[in-house]
Amino acid sequence: VGTGAVAAVDLGATSGRVIVGRVGPDTLETTTVTRFSNDPVVAGDGLHWNLVGMYGSVLDGLREAFRASPEIASIGVDSWAVDYGLLRRGRLLGEPFHYRDERTARGVETVHARLPHAELFERNGLQFLPFNTLYQLAAEDRELLEFADTALLVPDLIGYWLTGVARAEVTNASTTGLLRVLQAAWDDGLVSSLGLPRGILPPLIAPGDRLGALRPSVAAALGASDDTPVTAVGSHDTASAVVAVPMQADAAAYISCGTWGLVGVEVEHLVLGRAALEANFTNEGGVDGRIRLLHNVMGLWVLSEAVRQWERREGHRIDLPTLLDAAEEADGPVFDVNDPRFLAPGDMTPRIDAWCDEHDVPRPRTRAEYTRSIVESLAQAFADSVADAARIGGVDVRSIHIVGGGSLNELLCQRTADRSGMPVLAGPVEATALGNVLVQARAAGFVSGSLESLRDLVARTHAPRRYEPRA
């Protein structure tokens, strides 16, 4: 056990980054080498990710990382969940669809005509979200699906491009809806009853396993040594984030808050009963076989999409801190942020107005009021889901950890504390990258031990900021 360096590739729905992490028994430091925007494009048949472009940015970032830190011992990749690319003989058959593309509605109809959500939940343990991979595959062009020989989730696709090895990392595979949760194996029966080709699903791999060495051409292009491995991490970004929550899992809830607010608890066993089904909770696979019992709350998406529309109308950028300061002085009604009308890209304010009209709630009037309204509604949804998670998971939750970009939003953290009546511990902001780094560092032998000791290292090096609930 000594100090060493690893590189983390972390792709989010709005931006990606390459980070170098330095880890030892008392050390956990990160340096962001590059950050690039992720700009989905409506092209032809729908909303797509520009994944090839993003891979180019990943390579640029890694090259930079190896130039600055030639000792990097491993690379790990995580991203948002559920989306995939189809390949045939190694060639990508078109840019992957964005999960916010509206085609998924078709897939939901097809799948639920065969298997209602309650039956799916018994097998895959997942919250109903219209974009879970199984619905996307059911909406896929049949001929294309038959023509493909492999489907790879986004981080697995990047890993494949880097190494030539096609695998499905299990935490992210758990978000597809096609894993038999009790066995953490592909559910062959489900796959065939949905008429999906089983052959396109690659073998599973677990966080900490070695995916493979860099392809020689990639190693040469990066200035890395030939035997540099890509190590599987919690490749679902939320799984990596939960690794780096400096919490005591038997007494705390977490909120991984970025585009989404993933609100839940970590448990040792699956929770598949009625209460979880009715609260629409999910059992996602965590690192070290833990279960992330959580609920997807709409997240900062609603605010960032509202701001994007205002910026478009005005033709200039809006400063978020200034807007949040104004919101602090304003009032704003609580609406249901989880209403599906807020899922698709586009103008949020008319949707908020419509929700308020339908529920006899006065509409917000100014941008400051809309902003306040979104923050209050998120804080309320967070508090509600924390209470659900505690009840359903049987965890005596006494504090709430907020990690990710949302941990920098002081109004949101304070109002979550106020509305839940519990202290909020905010940070680290880069929890996802830290979780990615830690799992690699443990595999490389720079640190050892359970998730508890990894979290203890996070707590010692990244002390969270505390918000007390106010009356």
**Residues tagged active-site:** 237
Minimum Å gap between C-beta 12 and ligand LRH is 6
Pick the closer one to ligand LRH by CB: 364 or 427.
427
Q: For residue 369, what is the enclosing H or E element?
A: helix 367-393
Minimum Å gap between C-beta 81 and ligand LRH is 4
Q: What residues from 227 to 246 belong to the interface with ligand LRH (CB under 6 A)?
A: 236-238
Pick the closer one to ligand LRH by CB: 23 or 437.
437
Six token digits for residue 37: 């925007």
Q: Are residues 93 and 148 in contact, defined by beta-carbon separation less than 8 angstroms?
A: yes
The full 3-state SS of 86-123, as one line of letters, equals EEECCEECCCCECCCCCCHHHHHHHHHHHCCHHHHHHH
Q: What residues from 13 to 32 belong to the interface with ligand LRH (CB under 6 A)?
A: 13
Pick the closer one to ligand LRH by CB: 98 or 372.
98
Minimum Å gap between C-beta 407 and ligand LRH is 15
- The pattern of x and - marking residues 66 through 85 that bind ligand LRH according to CB under 6 A reads --------------xxx---
Stretch that binds ligand LRH, among 58-66, 146-154, 259-267, 271-279 (CB under 6 A): 259-267
Contacts of 251 (CB under 8 A, 6+ apart): 395, 396, 397, 398, 399
- The pattern of x and - marking residues 272 through 311 that bind ligand LRH according to CB under 6 A reads ------------------------x---------------
Pick the closer one to ligand LRH by CB: 134 or 262.
262
Contacts of 308 (CB under 8 A, 6+ apart): none
Pick the closer one to ligand LRH by CB: 236 or 372.
236
Minimum Å gap between C-beta 163 and ligand LRH is 22
Q: Identify residue 215 by its one-letter amino acid code.
A: R
- 97 part of the interface to ligand LRH, by CB under 6 A: no
CA distance 348 to 303: 8
Pick the closer one to ligand LRH by CB: 254 or 260.
260
Stretch that binds ligand LRH, among 221-229, 256-264, 333-341, 441-449 (CB under 6 A): 256-264
| Beta strands 179-180 and 4-11, pairing class | unpaired
CA distance 237 to 262: 11
Which of 201, 75, 79, 92 has the alpha carbon at shortest distance from 137? 201
Q: Are residues 386 and 399 in contact, defined by beta-carbon separation less than 8 angstroms?
A: no
Minimum Å gap between C-beta 237 and ligand LRH is 5
- 260 part of the interface to ligand LRH, by CB under 6 A: yes
- 416 part of the interface to ligand LRH, by CB under 6 A: no
Region of 87 please: left (phi>0), alpha (psi -120 to 50) or beta.
beta
Six token digits for residue 415: 């109002």
Residue ranges binding ligand LRH (CB under 6 A): 12-13, 80-82, 99, 236-238, 259-260, 262, 296
